[in-house]
Amino acid sequence: MAWVITRLCADCQDTACVKVCPVDCIYGLNVDDVNFRKQLFIDPEECINCAACEPECPWGAIFEDVAVPDLFKEDIGINARVFAAHPRDEFTTTPVPIKSHPSPEEIKANYEKWGFKNS
């Protein structure tokens, strides 16, 4: 897996990353599942490691797998398991954003919510 969307995306889902992905490997899950947060996911089998998504995420939720902060390491496995747990027809490459273009205060509050200290 090259890139991972962490829980910093949970309940935010800005779709700027989806729009720039050249291979459409970023998905929203269309069904409720208590095992997975309401967020976007990168299919590790489809990702071509282009890194186009990372700078587009206004929430700072996307990391290269080797650079995922320790706080979010479990998100690497979660991001992969969601695709094993659900058939392709339960995903969309055109998710409706929940929040778009957050303010700096919203980003800070989201980091605090998850205990993330961005350096």
Q: What is the pLDDT along the chain (119 residues), one digit of tens a residue?
A: 589 999 999 988 899 999 999 999 999 999 999 999 999 999 999 999 999 999 999 999 999 999 999 999 999 999 889 999 999 999 999 988 887 789 999 999 999 999 998 76
pLDDT score for 47: 95
Q: What domains are there in the chain, each with its CATH number?
A: 3-95 (3.30.70.20)
Report DSSP letters for the chain, one per residue: --EEE-GGGTTT---HHHHH-TT--EEEE-S--TTS-SSEEE-TTT------HHHH-TT--EEEGGG--GGGTHHHHHHHHHHHHS-GGGEESSPPPSS-S--HHHHHHHHHHHT----
pLDDT score for 97: 86
